[in-house]
Structure 1
C-alpha cells in the first residue's frame, strides 16, 4: 500500500477539505485528488465524498481511518528503529545468557527511559566492523589482537573480569571439593563444544590450556547450555568452565556443583568497545553505569591471557 496515499487520505480526513490538505502537504489540489483516487481504486471502495463544505468520510472511510493512522504510526516507529540518533542504543553481546546480558538488564531497569536493542554478532571482527559502519553502538568483547591494533576510531575500556568456576556433576572427582587449583586440573577433560575456532573465547581457553596443561575438548555438536548441563550431570569425568554470573537453571535431582578455581583464579576479561565519534545519547549513560558497577581490578591471585592487558583508548 502506498503510504503517501494513506498519509494524504488522513490529511484530508483531518482537514475536512482537499484544498487545506494540499496546503498542509505542500502539494497541488490535483495531486491530492489523484492520490485519493488511486487509494480508493486499490481498496475497491469510496473513502471520501466531496461536499459544498469540502470532504466527508464515507462509512468505509470512517472504518479505514484508524487503521490508516496505525499504518503511519508503524512507519514512524520502523524508521526510528534504524535511524541513527533516534533509534534504540544497539549493543552486541556474545550470548544472551551470559553475565553481561544481566548487566544490560540492570542498566535498563535503572534507565527505562533509554531504549535498548540487544544483538549478537558471530565474532569480534564482525562486531568491530559493525561499530565502524554505525550498525551497532557498542559491543562487549575480549580483545584478542596481540600484535594488531583496533582501528583508530574504535575506543575500548575493560568493564568486567569475570571469575570462572569448574562446573561438575555429583560423580566427578572434584564435585565435593571446596576449591580446585588450575594445576590440579591438568589431565582432566574440560568439555567446551561451543569454542568455535577464531572466536575470542576459543583464544582465551587455548591460552589457559597452554599455560596450565589443561585438556580443552571442543569435539561434538554444540546443543547449547541445556545439552551441556545434561552431559556434565551424568558424567564422572567431564567438567566445564562457567562464568561466575552465568544464570543457570537445571532440573531437580541433578545435584550439579560450581567449584571455585584458585591459585590462580582464571578471569574472563570483558571490555566495552565503541566508536569514538558515536553521537548516540545513551552511550555515555551506559559507560557511566559500567564504570559505577565495575569491581576493582585485582591482579594478584588471578590469571588472564597475556593479550588481555588493560586497553588505553586506542589500540
Structure 2
C-alpha cells in the first residue's frame, strides 16, 4: 500500500477539503486527487464524497481512517528504529572475559546513556562478514591492518596492546617469580587447549612460540576456563598464557599465580574494526573514547608479530 496515498487520505480527512490538504502537504490539488483515486482503486472502495462544503468521508472512509492513522504511526516507528543513534550499538567482543569486553565496559561507564548490544563471534572472518552484512557495528580483533587503513570499506585502528602474562599453579617451578623473562619459558609446557588453527589468536601464539622456541600444547578437549584453571592449579608442570585484562576468578585454595613476562613483553594487538559508511553516532563516540584512553604503546621491550 502506498504510504504517500494513505498520508494524503488522512490529510484530506482532517482538513475536509482537497485544496487545504494539498496546501498542508505542499503538493498540488491535482496530486492529492490522483493519490486518493489510486488508493480508492487499490482498496476497491470509495473513501470520500465531494460536496459544496468540501470532502466528506463515506462509510468505508470512516472505517478505513483509524487503520490509516495506525499505518502511518507504524511507518514512523519503523523509520525511527533505524535512524542513526536510535538503536543500540552492536559490538563484537570475542569473549566476555577478554580484554575487548573490558574496553567496552570502560566505555559504558563513561557513557552510561549509550545503549549497547554486546555479542561474541568466533573468529575474524565471521566478524568481518557480519560487518559487511550490517549485522554488527564494530568488532575488536587482532588483524594485519595498519591504523586507518580501509579495505573494501572496512577500517581499523589499533586500540590496545595487551601484555601477555604467565599463569601457573603454586607448585610450578616459576610460581615464586615476581616476573619472568620470555626466554625462560622455553622448555616449560604451556597448555592452551582453546587455541584454534586459523584464528587470529591461534596465529598469534603460533608466531610467539616460533619466535622464542616455546612449547605450546593444545592437546585435549577445551572444556572452558574453569576446568583449565583446575588443571593448572594442580599441575607442577603445566602453565598457560593469558592477557593482562582477561577476567579470571578462582577459589582461594587454588593459589594460582599471574606472573608478568618481560624482556620482551609479548603484547596482543587489539584493533577496533568498523565499516567506513556506518553513521551510528555511538560508533564515533566509541572510537573517540578508545583514542582518548589508549595507554601509551609499550614500544621498546615488547614483542608483537610482524603482521600486526
Q: TM-score, normalised by structure 2?
A: 0.73
Counterpart Cα distance in 1 of 2:114 and 2:258: 35
Q: Report how far residue 181 of structure 1 moved.
A: 1.4
Alignment of 1:88-103 (within 5 A): 88-103=88-103
Counterpart Cα distance in 2 of 1:180 and 1:88: 43
Is the contact made by 2:145 and 2:156 (CA closer than 8 Å) also made in structure 1? no
Match for residue 213 of structure 2? 213
Q: Report how far residue 246 of structure 1 moved.
A: 1.3
Alignment of 1:294-309 (within 5 A): 294-308=294-308
Is the contact made by 1:209 and 1:215 (CA closer than 8 Å) also made in structure 2? yes
- Bigger Rg, structure 1 or 2: 2
Is the contact made by 1:144 and 1:203 (CA closer than 8 Å) also made in structure 2? no
> 1:254 and 2:287 equivalent?
no
Q: Report how far residue 171 of structure 1 moved.
A: 0.4
Match for residue 234 of structure 1? 234
Question: Structure 2 regions of 5+ residues with no counterpart?
Answer: 1-46, 48-55
Alignment of 1:159-170 (within 5 A): 159-170=159-170
Find 1:29's aligned residue among 50, 62, 77: 62
Match for residue 127 of structure 1? 127
Residues 98-154 of structure 1 deviation map (CA, whole Å, 9 limit, x = unaligned): 1221221121122122111111111101111111121111110000479xx973311
Q: Report how far residue 87 of structure 1 moved.
A: 1.7
Counterpart Cα distance in 2 of 1:222 and 1:145: 30
Alignment of 1:275-290 (within 5 A): 275-290=275-290
Residues 231-253 of structure 1 deviation map (CA, whole Å, 9 limit, x = unaligned): 10000011001111112111121
Counterpart Cα distance in 2 of 1:96 and 1:84: 28
Number of aligned positions between the proteins: 243
What's the secondary structure of 1:279's corresponding residue?
coil
Going from structure 1 to structure 2, the CA distance change for 1:28 and 1:196 (only over 3 Å counts) comes to farther
Going from structure 1 to structure 2, the CA distance change for 1:33 and 1:152 (only over 3 Å counts) comes to closer
Is the contact made by 1:165 and 1:243 (CA closer than 8 Å) also made in structure 2? yes
Match for residue 6 of structure 1? none
Residues 184-223 of structure 1 deviation map (CA, whole Å, 9 limit, x = unaligned): 1112111111111111000000000000111111111111
Counterpart Cα distance in 1 of 2:244 and 2:207: 20
Match for residue 13 of structure 1? none
Counterpart Cα distance in 1 of 2:292 and 2:277: 23
Question: Structure 1 regions of 5+ residues with no counterpart?
Answer: 1-18, 36-71, 309-315
Is the contact made by 2:98 and 2:246 (CA closer than 8 Å) also made in structure 1? yes
Counterpart Cα distance in 2 of 1:34 and 1:247: 53
What's the secondary structure of 1:161's corresponding residue?
strand
What's the secondary structure of 2:108's corresponding residue?
helix
> 1:152 and 2:185 equivalent?
no
Q: Report how far residue 28 of structure 1 moved.
A: 3.1
Is the contact made by 2:163 and 2:265 (CA closer than 8 Å) also made in structure 1? yes
Counterpart Cα distance in 1 of 2:83 and 2:135: 9
